């Protein structure tokens, strides 16, 4: 008490809240597919587009996407960026490539890690396939997809994916 202290200028108020998150019906189907090492999409009954992952509705038509569509393991890089910055939660050595991957048969691309190719050789149109984690590591999460790697096929034509960048 005796010594003069600096006035209080900050207040620490830690906040911790616990939740039980529920994935819902449609997303659970997709996640269970990932746990089995395969991609499961869903088709909109109105526009026939195939969503992967689907949250259960077609974002354009606002109707349930009930029809399940089994998708293959290959796709096309529609666009990408090179990550050079370390940030919290990151577990991959920089630089590395994060790409939008359009699976064959799907109508929407999602974000994926590209490996097994030098970063400066990744390009739009690159054909890639999913590499899954070991079977005992598979779980209901995109973490089941270790990364994507080139298939060695010729690049896709720009026109075939330009609407999906």
Partner 1 sequence: MSERVAVIGTGQTKHAAKRDDVSIAGLVREAALRALEDAGLGWADIDAVVIGKAPDMFEGVMMPELYLAPALGAVGKPIMRVHTAGSVGGSTALVAAHLVTSGIHDRVLTVAFEKQSDSDAMWALSVPQPFSAPLLAGAGGYFAPHIRAYMRRSGAPGHIGMQVAVKDRLQALKNPYAHLHLPDISIEMVEQSVMLWDPLHYLEACPSSDGAAAMVLGSEQAAAAAQVDTGRRPAWVHGMAMRSEPTMFAGRDQINPRAGRECAADVYRQAGVTDPRRDFDCAEVYVPFSWYEPMWLENLGFCDEGDGWKLTDAGSTSMDGGDIPWNCSGGVLSSNPIGASGMLRFLEAAMQVRGEAGEHQVDGTRRALAQAYGGGSQFFAMWVVGTDKP
Partner 2 sequence: MFYFLHGARKVRGIDCEEVTVDQTAGADEGVLTSAHVLEYPYSRSVGPVIGAFLTGLRDGRILGASGSNGSVVVPPTEYDPETAEATGELVEVGPAGTVTSWAWIADPAPGQPLDHPFAWVLVRLDGATTSVLHVLDAPSPSEVRTGMRVRADFLPATERVGRIQDIRAFVPADDGGPG
Partner 3 sequence: MPTPPSARGGRRPVAVVSFAQAQNQRREAHRNEVETLMPVFADVLGKVGITKDDVDFICSGSTDYLVGGPFSFVSALDAIGVWPPRRESHVEMDAAWALYEAWVVLQEDGVDAALVYGFGKSSLGDLSRIVALQLDPYVMAPLWPDPVALAALQARALLDAGKASEEDFAAVAARCRRSALDNPMAQVAYDRTVDELMTEDYVVAPLRRHALPPITDGAAAIVLAAGDKAFEWAERPAWITGIDHRIETHSPGGRDLTLSPSTAMAGRLAGVQDGRVDVAELHAPFAHQELILAQALDLGEGVSVNPSGGALAANALMAGGLIRIGEAASRIMDGRADRAVAHATSGPLLQQNLVAVLEGGR
Give the residues lining the site for partner 2 (CB under 8 A). 1, 5, 7-25, 27-29, 31-32, 139-141
Binding residue (CB under 8 A) for partner 1 from 31, 126, 130, 156: 31
Please, which residues have CB within 8 angstroms of residue 104's CB and are 6 or more apart in sequence?
A: 71, 72, 74, 75, 76
Instruction: Put the strands of the sheet holding 50-51 in their side by side order.
Output: 50-51, 39-43, 67-71
* 45 lines the binding site for partner 3 (CB under 8 A): no
118 binds, among partner 2, partner 1, partner 3, none (CB under 5 to 8 A by kind): none
Pick the piece of the chain touching partner 1 (CB under 8 A) from 68-76, 78-86, 128-136, 149-157.
78-86
* 15 lines the binding site for partner 1 (CB under 8 A): yes
Burial class (CB in 10 A: 0-12, 13-18, 19+), 158: exposed
| DSSP structure string for 107-157 | SSEEEEEE-SS-GGG--TT-EEEEEEPPGGG--SSGGGEEEEEE--PPPPP
H or E element that contains 40? strand 39-43
* 13 lines the binding site for partner 1 (CB under 8 A): yes
Pick the piece of the chain touching partner 1 (CB under 8 A) from 65-73, 126-134, 148-156, 157-165.
157-165
32 binds, among partner 3, partner 2, partner 1, none (CB under 5 to 8 A by kind): partner 2
77 DSSP assignment = E
89 binds, among partner 2, partner 1, partner 3, none (CB under 5 to 8 A by kind): partner 1
Euclidean distance between CA atoms 129 and 124, whole angstroms: 15
Judged by the rule CB under 8 A, the positions of this chain that interact with partner 1 are: 9-10, 13, 15, 21, 23, 27, 31, 47, 49-51, 58-60, 78-85, 87-92, 95, 98-100, 107-108, 110-113, 124, 140-143, 158, 162-165
């Amino acid at each position: 008490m005796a010594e003069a202290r600096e006035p209080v200028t900050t207040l620490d108020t830690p906040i911790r809240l616990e939740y039980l998150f529920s994935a819902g019906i449609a997303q659970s189907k997709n996640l269970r597919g990932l746990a089995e090492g395969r991609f499961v999409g869903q088709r909109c009954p109105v526009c026939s587009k195939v969503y992967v992952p689907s949250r259960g509705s077609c974002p354009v038509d606002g109707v349930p996407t009930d029809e399940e569509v089994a998708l293959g393991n290959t796709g096309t890089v529609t666009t990408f960026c090179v990550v050079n910055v370390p940030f919290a939660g990151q577990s991959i050595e920089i630089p590395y490539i994060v790409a939008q991957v359009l699976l064959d048969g799907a109508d929407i691309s999602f974000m994926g890690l590209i490996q097994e190719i030098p970063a400066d050789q990744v390009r739009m149109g690159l054909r890639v396939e999913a590499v899954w984690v070991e079977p005992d590591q598979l779980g209901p999460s995109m973490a089941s997809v270790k990364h994507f790697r080139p298939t060695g096929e010729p690049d896709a034509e720009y026109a075939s994916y330009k609407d999906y960048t």
